[in-house]
């Protein structure tokens, strides 16, 4: 069946990150359909909600029936949004009552800034973690490496930096990363700067073909990017990880979110590290 893209709206009285996340978690189950997504965040008043309803109803008059997801927590805003002719999936309404009954408590039902500054101490630790990550990116600084909760170890271009940034930004984890150079790979011993820190290391690998492709983008037709060189480095890195009992994650098959989740899971089962959190 041929049809145009389906207009999808994400509505929120704050950033809309929750509405997008949950909405997309459902839409990904329809890989054959094409969606045209639009985020409308910060809907703060009934007045603003009425303007949004006008936008929605205009879309309703188009050729393809739209769909809207909302996480607005303010009753006033939600009531106005409900007057739209567009079908709305209301994540808040549907679950709030159930959660209230389980908890035996009433929810505040106010626009809550889940993605606001919130807990200022936690927020500041995320900001500090980013600073730490940038300072220690790509082995730039070996100072205070023992303050790192996690050290990502890998040959060049295996995805250390994005994973470092994600863990810092989203979880406030202090992450350093250490690039394995040719001289580090001559033996299976941990390189000297991280020799005593093996218990907080995670090793990344990739497929040789993918690594070569990524390196080609940086230095086309260089020995550095050759399939032969990539294969050699990855094989030796893998041997080094195994020799030192370092958990290995494949960045070709895993996204930064998945790699981060795996790392946090492993950290969770190592309570000693949690305690060393700066």
User: Please, which residue, 36 or 196, has the CB nearer to a copy of itself?
Assistant: 36
Q: Return all residues near 174 (Cβ < 8 A) that are at least 6 apart.
A: 128, 129, 132, 133, 147, 148, 149, 150, 168, 277, 278
**215 marked ligand binding residue:** no
**156 marked ligand binding residue:** yes
Residue located via tokens 């795996």: 262
| Nearest approach, Cβ of residue 29 and a copy of itself (Å) | 4
Kindly tell me the burial class for residue 163, based on how many C-beta atoms sit within 10 Å of its own C-beta (0-12, 13-18, 19 or more): buried
Rg (CA), the chain: 24
User: Please, which residue, 57 or 198, has the CB nearer to a copy of itself?
Assistant: 57
**118 marked ligand binding residue:** no
Residue located via tokens 């978690």: 25
User: Please, which residue, 107 or 193, has the CB nearer to a copy of itself?
Assistant: 107
Residue 18 structure tokens: 């929750």
How many residues are listed for the chain in this entry?
Answer: 278
Q: Return all residues near 85 (Cβ < 8 A) that are at least 6 apart.
A: 56, 57, 60
| Nearest approach, Cβ of residue 79 and a copy of itself (Å) | 17
User: Please, which residue, 8 or 237, has the CB nearer to a copy of itself?
Assistant: 8
User: Please, which residue, 96 or 273, has the CB nearer to a copy of itself?
Assistant: 96
Give the phi and the psi of residue 266 in degrees, each rounded to 5: -65, -45
Mapping DSSP to helix (H, G, I), strand (E, B) and coil, where does residue 54 land? helix
| Nearest approach, Cβ of residue 164 and a copy of itself (Å) | 9
DSSP 145: G
**155 marked ligand binding residue:** yes
| Nearest approach, Cβ of residue 135 and a copy of itself (Å) | 11
**Per-residue burial over 228-241, b = 16 or more CB atoms within 10 Å of its CB, e = otherwise:** ebbeebbebbeebb
DSSP 276: T
| Nearest approach, Cβ of residue 232 and a copy of itself (Å) | 24
| Nearest approach, Cβ of residue 34 and a copy of itself (Å) | 11
Interaxial angle between packed helices 208-218 and 227-243, expressed in degrees from 0 to 180 and rounded to the nearest 10: 120
User: Please, which residue, 46 or 96, has the CB nearer to a copy of itself?
Assistant: 96
**159 marked ligand binding residue:** yes
**106 marked ligand binding residue:** no
Point out the annotated binding site for ADP: 154-161
């Amino acid at each position: 069946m041929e049809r145009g893209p389906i207009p999808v709206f994400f509505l929120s009285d704050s950033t809309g990150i929750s509405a997008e996340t949950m909405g997309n978690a459902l839409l990904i189950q329809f890989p054959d359909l094409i969606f045209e997504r639009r985020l409308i965040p910060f809907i703060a008043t009934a007045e603003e909600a009425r303007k949004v309803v006008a936008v929605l109803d205009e879309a309703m008059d188009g050729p393809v029936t739209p769909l809207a997801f909302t996480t607005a927590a303010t009753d006033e805003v939600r009531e106005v949004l409900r007057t739209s002719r567009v079908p709305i999936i209301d994540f808040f309404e549907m679950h709030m009552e159930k959660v209230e009954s389980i908890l035996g408590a009433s929810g505040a039902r106010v626009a809550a800034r889940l993605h606001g500054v919130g807990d200022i101490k936690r927020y500041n630790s995320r900001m500090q973690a980013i600073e730490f990550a940038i300072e220690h990116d790509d082995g730039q600084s070996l100072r205070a490496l023992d303050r790192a909760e996690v050290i990502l170890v890998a040959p060049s271009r295996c995805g250390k930096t994005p994973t470092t940034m994600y863990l810092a930004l989203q979880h406030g984890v202090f992450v350093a990363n250490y690039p394995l150079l040719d001289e580090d790979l001559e033996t299976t011993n941990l390189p000297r700067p991280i020799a005593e820190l093996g218990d907080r290391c995670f090793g990344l690998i990739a497929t040789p073909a993918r690594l070569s492709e990524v390196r080609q983008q940086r230095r086309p037709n260089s020995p550095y990017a050759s399939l032969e060189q990539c294969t050699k480095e990855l094989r030796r890195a893998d041997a080094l990880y195994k020799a030192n009992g370092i958990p290995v994650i494949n960045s070709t098959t895993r996204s930064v979110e998945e790699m981060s989740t795996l790392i946090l899971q492993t950290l969770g089962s190592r309570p000693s590290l949690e305690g060393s959190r700066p």
